Chain A
Amino acid sequence: MSAHPDLSRRAFFAALPAVTAGLTVSAGAAEASGPHWSMLVDTRRCIACQACTMACAMENASPEGQFRTVVATYAVTGADGQTGLSVLPRLCNHCEQPPCIPVCPVGATYKREDGIVLVDGDRCVGCAYCVQACPYDARFINHHTGKADKCTFCSHRIEAGLLPACVETCVGGARIFGDTNDPQSDISKRLKAADGKVQVLKPEAKTAPRVFYIGLDAHMNGRVNGASAADMMWRPNQQGG
């Protein structure tokens, strides 16, 4: 077993008994090359409860109204008149070709060897160029710091041997996090099992995201042609009141 957490929440608990035994097992090939963290979102399991949104906000102390992860929720009415729920959990895609990195004028955004894209807060100047360059709208300028902010895959938790807060709290087990360099990891097995059915957001952007989706409606993977309830709403903080 890898020394890093690379399992979904359920599998993580299932594997706990093996932890002590695992301490004596020699490091595998996966460790030699190091982990490569990815996330698989099984939208069929997501019930849009926003527990992940809240867990992330609490864990990372996001300013009010600013979120590192969210679950966009849609009411889709088909040709037969039936209306159903469709969801899109969104977060930083920790792309292999992240467009946010080359544009950063001070090199504050970088990609670690384990695949996680991070922002060096000491270096960031808050120019928001990376926010513009992100095709997934995953970044924002933090109101408290005036600097770029985004999902970090809860790198601080991973380093402590924990799962990201959104994965930990997902009631449906829709978010599976792990090391895709380890063929025995749950995420690797699930990705293999779902071969051909796995999607990424905006594949045409050629960013090679490390957040994968199963069960995603094809027309949800980017800008959605549809009405927005938010656009119809009165917003007291913007429109007076």
Chain B
Amino acid sequence: MNTTVEVLGFAREPAWLPWAVTYFFLIGISTTAFLLSLPGLVWQRPAWRGISRRALLVALVCGLTGPVALLADLHQPGRFLNFYLHPNLGSWMAWGSFFIPLYMFGLFLYAWLCLRPQLAALGRSGDRFSGLYRTLAYGGHDNPGAIKAAALVGAIGAALLMLYTGMEVMVVQARAMWHSPVVPLLFAVTALSGGLGMTSLFEALSGNQSAAPLLNRWLERSQWAGLLLLMVWLLLGLTGLSSAAAEALSAMQGDFSWWVTGAWLFGSTLLALWLARSRRHALVLPALFALQLAWAVRWTVLMASQSLPKMGATSPRYFLTLTPDGLLGIVGMLGLCLTVYIALTSLVPWDERSDA
């Protein structure tokens, strides 16, 4: 039997950076949080009313910040113009550049229409910002028909965003771990997990524990779905039914870090599942585990998989450094999320008492 040692190998450094993970994470959360806002704000389900308001806040915070990470990934943000000047419509990424503004337009219009009556009420309060609120309210009419129409635009945008982010990754045959129909589904399910987690976290921040049972019920479902998809991918690879998954597993063999990664993904999903089932009234812990699952899946698929060599035997390892395109970028995006959260919650009260 031959043994081979790559004496002189040339491994390319990872080309997609944590910016990509941050974008996929935030935009996934935004789209699913938007969908979570529909039961309470469009279909007027009483049980969802408070949750949907917080979900809308999540959708806005993550929707406003997510595309910033995407722009940062282009090295020079102004380059985004080429997406519109020279679109190649055979590329999923090109379609994404149209789906993002469609979703953003729908989200902002929907949010504004939902908040209008409350903005009008704030405009009548007589404080020093009442003029601004009156302007923003633009009459302040509650128009359920318009809300439904805007929700439809946003929902189409959200669905297309989830579709493109999954397909963009799935179509890349050169990356064995990416080239699987399970990936878009896993992204969608873990985005839901992240959306529920972030909504739970916002509920906890506003001190509203009553939403916990309903959120945890949905969190449990999303964890089951995530677990199922992880197992499907693994089985497809182990049985050889998916040559790409089998190739990915083969490339991981002998690397202890992949065993740790796999154990972490399955273990943390099970733990989140257990928390959501057994601690129905807890918000923070299940939320944090749900968020970490959304992040860990994206990090594993987008970053860790880039360490699997396409050619040769050398693994192009990625080390998270304290640089703008590394840890500083992630922390910076977290700070931006916090800033937008503070700005939005300062502008409009989002708690239960302020329900319009």
**Contact of B75 with A123 in the complex, beta carbons under 8 Å:** no
In whole angstroms, how far apart are the Cα atoms of A227 and B87 in the complex?
A: 42
In whole angstroms, how far apart are the Cα atoms of A90 and B1 in the complex?
A: 26
**Contact of A77 with B9 in the complex, beta carbons under 8 Å:** no
CB neighbours of B8 from chain A (8 A) = 48, 50, 71-73, 229
CB neighbours of A153 from chain B (8 A) = none
**Contact of B10 with A105 in the complex, beta carbons under 8 Å:** no
Q: Is A238 an interface residue (CB 8 A)?
A: yes
Q: How far is the CB of A137 from chain B (nearest CB, A)?
A: 5
**Contact of A223 with B2 in the complex, beta carbons under 8 Å:** no
Q: Is A76 an interface residue (CB 8 A)?
A: yes
Q: Is A21 an interface residue (CB 8 A)?
A: no
The total of Cβ contacts below 8 Å across the A-B interface reads 181
CB neighbours of B317 from chain A (8 A) = 231, 238
Select one of B93, B172, B173, B313 contacting A127, CB under 8 A. B93
Query: Which residue of chain B is the closest to A136 with respect to CB atoms?
Result: B311
**Contact of B15 with A88 in the complex, beta carbons under 8 Å:** no
Contact status of A224 and B171, CB under 8 A, knowing A125-B82, A238-B319: no
Q: Is A106 an interface residue (CB 8 A)?
A: yes
Q: Is B73 an interface residue (CB 8 A)?
A: yes
Q: Is A141 an interface residue (CB 8 A)?
A: yes
In whole angstroms, how far apart are the Cα atoms of A201 and B11 in the complex?
A: 16
Q: Is A239 an interface residue (CB 8 A)?
A: yes
Contact status of A105 and B3, CB under 8 A, knowing A123-B86, A132-B174, A223-B311: no
In whole angstroms, how far apart are the Cα atoms of A90 and B93 in the complex?
A: 28
Q: Is B204 an interface residue (CB 8 A)?
A: no
**Contact of B93 with A72 in the complex, beta carbons under 8 Å:** no
Q: A96-104, A170-178, A208-216: which one contacts chain B?
A: A96-104
Band of interface residues on A? 35 or more
Q: Give the one of B15, B73, B83, B90 with max A CB within 10 A.
A: B15
What is the number of residues of chain B that contact chain A, defined by CB distance less than 8 Å?
54
**Contact of B83 with A125 in the complex, beta carbons under 8 Å:** yes
Contact status of A102 and B91, CB under 8 A, knowing A126-B74, A132-B175: yes
In whole angstroms, how far apart are the Cα atoms of A135 and B178 in the complex?
A: 13
**Contact of A227 with B6 in the complex, beta carbons under 8 Å:** yes
**Contact of B88 with A105 in the complex, beta carbons under 8 Å:** yes
Q: Is A74 an interface residue (CB 8 A)?
A: yes
Q: How far is the CB of A218 from chain B (nearest CB, A)?
A: 11
In whole angstroms, how far apart are the Cα atoms of A219 and B314 in the complex?
A: 15
Q: Is A78 an interface residue (CB 8 A)?
A: yes
Within 8 A of B (CB), among A66-87: 67, 70-79, 86
**Contact of B2 with A205 in the complex, beta carbons under 8 Å:** no
**Contact of B5 with A228 in the complex, beta carbons under 8 Å:** yes
In whole angstroms, how far apart are the Cα atoms of A76 and B251 in the complex?
A: 19
**Contact of B5 with A229 in the complex, beta carbons under 8 Å:** yes
Contact status of A105 and B6, CB under 8 A, knowing A133-B172, A231-B314: no
> Can you list 16 residue pairs at the A/B interface with Cβ under 8 Å?
A72-B311, A76-B4, A106-B83, A107-B87, A123-B86, A125-B82, A127-B93, A129-B93, A134-B310, A139-B12, A225-B313, A227-B4, A228-B312, A229-B6, A230-B9, A238-B319
The 9 closest A-B pairs by CB, nearest first: A226-B4, A146-B75, A128-B15, A105-B94, A131-B15, A105-B93, A73-B8, A107-B88, A135-B174
User: Can you name 8 extra interface pairs (CB under 8 A) apart from A147-B75, A231-B313?
Assistant: A72-B9, A72-B312, A79-B1, A102-B91, A106-B85, A126-B75, A223-B311, A228-B314
Interface residues of chain B, those whose CB is within 8 Å of chain A, are 1-13, 15-16, 73-76, 79-80, 82-83, 85-88, 90-94, 96-97, 168, 171-175, 178, 247, 250-251, 308-315, 317, 319
